[in-house]
């Protein structure tokens, strides 16, 4: 791996071997509904709390991603996962059943990108050959975490974002076979880790404004390319 002006250039070409998503009812009814692997109509996903429901969404996304790639949990060397909750409880409880070495990450809206950068770096240096990356959120848990519980009945201002209910997961692979073949899957060519850029935005209902300055000043990104 090379580092050029803060950009990480990956040379082993870690590629996305499989991927999956599990979302809630509202997301399934949207314009991208047909592209999701699982649409779960119950906001509780059959659990007792919204936090447990979010954990179930992440577990589902990981399981489907493994199945689509014909992988077993034992084939995965590291899991880089995260969510929006304290102590990353959604992802940590979701991943305990898989028995994969786990790295919990908290990057808010950048969690999936951060997970893929951390995993790709581990693959690049030879610490792993395959990694699972996953992130989740749930509208009801996020409202309780950052604003007010839904039961409070507070009004939503026009600037308030609607946190997605769902989870995405993928398997990154850089096994010897994949390095020797001309894999057509998207692979990570480069990445950049952003810096904290605080413009003193204090409106909890306008998180987009708080994050925008960092994006403008080269925030976290991944560059994908397709091998010919």
132, pLDDT greater than 90: yes
Report the C-alpha gap between 97 and 146 in whole angstroms: 28
> For residue 218, is it left (φ>0), alpha (ψ between -120 and 50) or beta?
left
Query: For residues 136 and 83, is the Cβ–Cβ distance under 8 A?
Result: yes
Q: What is the pLDDT of residues 26-55, one digit of tens each?
A: 999 999 999 999 999 999 999 999 999 999
Q: What is the pLDDT of residues 116-127, one digit of tens each?
A: 999 999 999 999
Report the C-alpha gap between 131 and 100 in whole angstroms: 9
**Percentage of residues in the chain having pLDDT higher than 70:** 91
Where are the domains positioned within the chain? 14-181
* pLDDT for the residue numbered 197: 83
Give the total residue count for the chain. Answer: 228
* pLDDT for the residue numbered 228: 43
Assign domain 14-181 to its CATH superfamily: Stage V sporulation protein AD (3.40.47.40)
Q: What is the pLDDT of residues 5-28, one digit of tens each?
A: 888 999 988 999 999 999 999 999
């Amino acid at each position: 791996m090379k580092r050029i002006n803060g950009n990480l250039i990956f040379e082993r070409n870690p590629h996305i071997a499989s991927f999956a998503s599990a979302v809630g009812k509202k997301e399934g009814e949207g314009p991208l509904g047909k592209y999701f692997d699982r649409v779960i109509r119950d906001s509780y996903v059959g659990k007792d709390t919204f936090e447990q429901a979010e954990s179930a969404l992440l577990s589902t996304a990981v399981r489907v991603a493994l199945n689509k790639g014909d992988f077993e949990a034992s084939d995965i060397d590291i899991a880089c996962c995260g969510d929006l909750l304290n102590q990353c409880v959604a992802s940590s409880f979701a991943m305990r059943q898989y028995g994969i070495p786990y790295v919990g990450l908290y990057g808010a809206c950048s969690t999936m990108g951060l997970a893929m950068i951390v995993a790709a770096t581990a693959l690049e240096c030879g610490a792993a050959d395959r990694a699972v990356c996953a992130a989740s959120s749930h509208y009801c848990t996020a409202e309780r975490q950052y604003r007010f519980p839904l039961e409070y009945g507070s009004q939503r201002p026009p600037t308030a974002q609607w946190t997605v209910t769902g989870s995405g997961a993928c398997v990154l692979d850089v096994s010897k076979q994949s390095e020797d073949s001309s894999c057509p899957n998207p692979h990570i060519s480069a990445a950049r880790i952003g810096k904290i850029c605080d413009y003193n935005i204090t409106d909890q209902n306008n998180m987009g404004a708080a994050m925008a300055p960092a994006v403008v000043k080269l925030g976290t990104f991944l560059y994908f390319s397709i091998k010919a």
